[in-house]
Chain A
Amino acid sequence: MSGGFPILSLMLAVPLVAAIVCIFAGDRSARLIALGATLVTFVLGCVLWAQFDIGGAQWQFTERADLFGRFQWALGIDGMALMLIMLSVFLMPLCILASWDAIKQRVGLYMAMFLIMETIMIGVFCAQDLLLFYIFFEAGLIPMYFIIGIWGGANRIYAAFKFFLYTLLGSVLMLIAMIAMIREAGTTDIPTLLAYNFPPEMQTWLWLAFFASLAVKMPMWPVHTWLPDAHVQAPTAGSMILAGVLLKLGAYGFLRFMMPMFPDASAQLMWIVFGLSMVAVVYTSLVALVQSDMKKLIAYSSVAHMAIVTAGLFAFNQQGIEGALIIMLSHGVVSAALFFCVGVIYDRLHTREIDRYGGLAVNMPAYALFFMLFTMASIGLPGTSGFVGEFLSLLGIYEASSVVAFVCTTGIILGAAYMLYLYRRVVFGELTKDDVKAMADLNPREWVILAPLAAVALWMGVYPESFLAPMRGDVTTVVARLAPAKPAGDAHLAAGKPKAAKAHEGEAAHGPSHAGGVQ
């Protein structure tokens, strides 16, 4: 233990203890216990945020205890981890509420799975020991696997299997890479590893091994196909937590390990990330456009958003990385909200087919309003959280490469197209179908879930400083770490010649620019 009250351990323990109790509790009490435990954890999270010293030490709330062998119980957070923990503990009570009526079988086990998931997520973000991190990182699969496999839709086994198969492959490679790192550096301590300079040729191999695992978690194209299936089969709350937090693990891994630990390899191989991200933005957006299943559509849109995150991270500058982080937070809130919006109408009509709906604005006006807000946040309307993240990261990407920025920015056109097309088919139009007519507007429980999500989406859009400030120092550290390896951007701005030579220079410069402008 190094100093202070072990609040992180407490945050890990509360959900875990509650999970064990839930397994043995009846349905009703399991719900209440789960809600209570997640709320307590949320309050602890708020305390954490309030106590976090912005601009203070990089690692705060550190705890350390030797276990067996090299194995250490080492916890601690920086600003980025703090924000991602906040995201997890904020979403968790909402997920429990979202499952309140929808889950009727084996409620105790279900709640236990979510609580274990919460412990694992907090653990991933606060682990300071490489092996501890790995265990949390991979263990996250297990409850998600159960949630999809037991409480999922008709084709849940296939989806759970696919989810597992994909993530398994990368995990093995990452584990091997980690063992190699530990042998090379002689420590499992993450802060120490962050400062360790691995030999460049070794970095490349380590980078590729990590990339194999993290790209799947992101997910990046072309290893994204598990996500639509997992989302479609998962229960509403499962989708919320999958999109909300689990999809952030990949990017967190990029930012925590690959970029600062292997800066040379990151700079060398950034073209892979840029290339895959560009393909993903265009490819998955177009695929989203033609989906007839609401959850699939939003799942594909998640892949497109995550592609902007990866591209933003590899811009290697303050705006790109901060933007990527804000997209992660924003997407966590907004996509969770969108999946819940799907869940609201799924609970009423038991179908995700877009064509089965239409005209909901008539009988569900409050729902229509929330759905509109989150749609706009998803397509990055200024004033919502989506804009701040997208704008910053694209601006950062532009500094690195105008081509990548251009291709990624086309996402704002395609994003508007598929989201508005979805919204139109579900909410607008004539209300003709009898079963749709019978659907009631939001009940108080649904209000309680949607209102905080909406508030955060707007808060992050209007005053993102609350979220940027804790992370600023950490991003600066990463940027500084990357600076020696960072390649120059493609802009190559050259000042104009002084007056005398200007006419000549003007000739030279204007020729090609004219051609470019007209094309």
Chain B
Amino acid sequence: MIQAIVFLPLLAALVAGLGQRVIGNMPSKIITTGALFTSCALSWPIFLSFVTGSGEPTVTPVLHWVSSGALQFNWELRVDTLTAVMLVVITTVSALVHLYSWGYMEEDPDQPRFFAYLSLFTFAMLMLVTANNLVQMFFGWEGVGLASYLLIGFWYKKPSANAAAIKAFVVNRVGDLGFMLGIFGTFLVFGTVSIPEILSAAPGMAGSTITFMGMRLDTMTILCLLLFIGAMGKSAQLGLHTWLPDAMEGPTPVSALIHAATMVTAGVFMVCRLSPMFETAPIAQGVVMFVGAATCFFAATVATTQWDIKRVIAYSTCSQLGYMFFAAGAGAYGAAMFHLFTHAFFKALLFLGAGSVIHAMHHEQDMRYYGNLRKSIPITYWAMMLGTLAITGVGIAGVAGFAGFYSKDGILEAAFASGGGGVVAFWVGIFVAFLTSFYSWRLVFLTFYGKPRWEQSEHIQHAVHGDHHDAPSEEDAGHDHAHAHHHDAPHGVQGDGTAGYHPHESPLSMLIPLVVLSIGAVFAGIAFHHQFIYPEEGMAFWKGSLAFDEHLMHAAHEVPTWVKWTPFTAMAIGLFLAWNSYIRNTTLPARFVAQFKLLHQFLYNKWYFDELYHLLFVKPAFAIGRFFWKRGDEGTIDRFGPDGAAALVQGGTRLAVRLQSGYVYGYAFVMLLGLVGLASWAMVNFL
């Protein structure tokens, strides 16, 4: 059965991708979407069997892969609780995104390719989570990277999309460098790449030391840190995060599936899968917590200033991933996975909702040109509303709440209970909860409330004047800087800010996924929080598939009441502030920006990471490359090597002429024949 779950998407991708010219649009869509719904239908029973406690971990061999000396690894499909959680997340979101794309990509001329990529991605992601050895995990890891690259650059005619695609791949490769070295080191230390064998041997290595790059280090610390660098790349953690916001160049369903719900959580999954290793390396855990908290904070601050609706959600994703990592760093792997699980639903919902808004607004992504959309697209509005309630963690402690309430509070309480650095992380988390609430509600208020500001949008103007784009959609995405001309006198005649445009609710194929995900956003927390994070139930549920610290989870439930209520308070303050700034007193943000210009610029420009990296890495790489080429190869090696020798042979200056005449060519050939003759002579006479 697991074979079907994993390989159906691959099969569908191949059929749709390679056979698109033969079978056409509709069959490609039916095959890929059908395969994904089948996978999804097969995955839920597996997950539920683990929820009820009847599921047992299994490993299904598929094919021999590599054996070289002591190194052996095979293609295998491992299913345990951790995998089962990922299976339902991946297949559910993927199936819904496939369905959603029927509507969203309706007008795209290249649909089979899109669906093939989506299915290919799903296959790679499933290979990643079912891996029983580090190398297969790396296969999936790179496979999702490839699919992400292809999908970000799906509209390959757009230079910005191509740039974003390459950036995503190359930045991820920086992380992969760490991952690969981590695998090498792990093999050197443990003599195997099989995950269960490594995990069972890991405690025995605690306290051992190893030399890495000339430094004498604690073995488990350096191994975990190297592997974590891989996780940082894939999960867009601070330092290696710069590709994620740019990845929004891809079609919105891609953002929902890959850059919110599944691929970017692979790093969290990896840390949880290898949690027994991290448990033996407290310093590495500290680093994980620190990086998680820093990312969480950084991304949330940036999200408060962005205007592009997708970028806000992208930074929000980055920030939520930070939460998951600091949970893992605190040792609360169950809580990290729980947040991964609920986040998949509500973040996919928010992205697909944003896609529906963009669809309704004729590809306009700038929230400055939205407003008052709740009446025109009510279903999208309610879906986004539920998603926002979930992400901001609305709920009453001890009673009930939305999905994010359970998982985020679980993380914060566990961080608090872990003590030490965890308490610092807790306070960072609280502050970020406030920021999360602010930017999420800001998004909702700017989009769905207030007066329509549509007439200033170029896209809407195009729509109204029947001036359709040739290119598929989101043609002018990421255009924060190019909007000066929007502020010209309004072209609309109505004077109500609508420019006479009537946004339409999206088709059914897009609304059904929104409704299904809304159910997840509302109930995923309340339905499963016992299994994921309660001490006794958790032990029974996880069955050792991750390092579940029963004591920590006990302590997390025993935290003082004020700890349980602080996140809610932070959320409420954020909500109030957003309401005050974007509904009650709409001139407030502008005045704030005017007063704190530098701070705003710093946040609005994403802490200048892109500029810094361009200056530090991209420009020097090209400059050094050019230097090596012109000064190294041509200016030194050739000049004093072959050209110099040629000049000597030829007696200098007329070399070029003679080279052209072919003189040297013949000369050289004679020399070669002479050499062969000499060799033969030497053989016969000397030996």
Cross-chain contact A429 with B665 (CB below 8 angstroms): no
Instruction: Report which of A131, A283, A322, A429 forms a contact with B162, defined as CB distance below 8 A.
Output: A429
Instruction: Report chain B residues within 8 Å CB of A213.
Output: none
Cross-chain contact B217 with A398 (CB below 8 angstroms): no
The reply on B287 being an interface residue by CB < 8 A is yes
Could you give, for residues 494-519 of chain A, a 1 whenever the CB lies within 8 Å of some chain B CB and a 0 otherwise? 11110000100110011011111110
Q: Which of A57-112 contact B (CB under 8 A)?
A: 68-71
Cross-chain contact B66 with A464 (CB below 8 angstroms): yes
Specify the chain B residue showing the minimal Cβ separation from A142: B672
The reply on B603 being an interface residue by CB < 8 A is no
B38-46, B86-94, B172-180, B485-493: which one contacts chain A? B172-180
CA–CA, A142 and B185, complex, Å: 46
CA–CA, A502 and B642, complex, Å: 61
Cross-chain contact B181 with A398 (CB below 8 angstroms): yes
Instruction: With A429-B157, A490-B211 as known contacts, state yes or no: A225 contacts B138, CB within 8 Å.
Output: no
CA–CA, A502 and B622, complex, Å: 49
B292-300, B417-425, B626-634: which one contacts chain A? B626-634
Instruction: With A168-B672, A290-B629, A383-B139 as known contacts, state yes or no: A496 contacts B205, CB within 8 Å.
Output: yes
How many inter-chain contacts with C-beta < 8 Å in the A-B complex?
270
CA–CA, A218 and B452, complex, Å: 67
CA–CA, A68 and B685, complex, Å: 11
Give the most central of A188, A225, A430: most B CB within 10 Å.
Answer: A225
Q: How large is the interface on A (under 10, 10 to 19, 20 to 34, 35 or more residues)?
A: 35 or more
Interface size of B in residues (CB-CB distance below 8 Å): 93
The reply on A232 being an interface residue by CB < 8 A is no
Instruction: Report chain B residues within 8 Å CB of A406.
Output: 181, 213
Cross-chain contact B676 with A139 (CB below 8 angstroms): yes
Instruction: Report which of B162, B176, B646, B687 forms a contact with A179, defined as CB distance below 8 A.
Output: B687
The reply on B60 being an interface residue by CB < 8 A is no
Instruction: Report chain A residues within 8 Å CB of B622.
Output: 289-290
Q: Which of B413-463 contact A (CB under 8 A)?
A: none
Cross-chain contact A413 with B170 (CB below 8 angstroms): yes
CA–CA, A464 and B156, complex, Å: 33
CA–CA, A510 and B216, complex, Å: 10
Could you give, for residues 398-441 of chain A, a 1 whenever the CB lies within 8 Å of some chain B CB and a 0 otherwise? 11001101100110111011001100100111110000000000
The reply on B69 being an interface residue by CB < 8 A is yes
Instruction: Report chain B residues within 8 Å CB of A71.
Output: 683-684
Cross-chain contact B676 with A286 (CB below 8 angstroms): no
Give the most central of A134, A413, A492, A513: most B CB within 10 Å.
Answer: A513
CA–CA, A158 and B665, complex, Å: 8
Instruction: Report chain B residues within 8 Å CB of A429.
Output: 156-157, 159, 162
Instruction: With A160-B665, A182-B687 as known contacts, state yes or no: A497 contacts B642, CB within 8 Å.
Output: no
Instruction: Report chain A residues within 8 Å CB of B679.
Output: 134-135, 138, 175
Main secondary structure of the interface of A (DSSP, over half): helix
The reply on B68 being an interface residue by CB < 8 A is yes
Cross-chain contact B173 with A412 (CB below 8 angstroms): yes
Closest chain-B Cβ to A357's Cβ sits at a distance in Å of 13
Cross-chain contact A141 with B208 (CB below 8 angstroms): no
The reply on A391 being an interface residue by CB < 8 A is yes
Instruction: Report which of A414, A421, A463 forms a contact with B65, defined as CB distance below 8 A.
Output: A463
Cross-chain contact A416 with B169 (CB below 8 angstroms): yes
CA–CA, A494 and B143, complex, Å: 36
Instruction: Report which of A392, A394, A430, A510 forms a contact with B66, defined as CB distance below 8 A.
Output: A392
Nearest first, the 7 closest Cβ-Cβ pairs linking A and B are A496-B207, A318-B69, A286-B625, A398-B184, A382-B139, A513-B217, A290-B625
Residue pairs across A and B with Cβ atoms less than 8 A apart, 26 shown, are A69-B683, A162-B642, A165-B642, A165-B645, A225-B637, A225-B642, A287-B625, A287-B629, A317-B69, A319-B71, A362-B157, A405-B181, A409-B181, A413-B174, A413-B176, A416-B173, A417-B170, A427-B156, A428-B162, A429-B159, A430-B157, A462-B63, A491-B188, A495-B205, A513-B217, A517-B284
Residues of chain B having any CB pair with chain A under 8 Å: 63-71, 75, 135, 138-139, 141-143, 146, 149, 153, 156-157, 159, 162, 165-166, 169-170, 173-174, 176-177, 180-181, 183-185, 187-189, 205-219, 221-222, 225, 283-284, 287, 621-622, 624-626, 628-629, 632-634, 637-638, 641-642, 645-646, 659-660, 662, 664-665, 668-669, 671-672, 675-676, 679, 682-684, 686-687
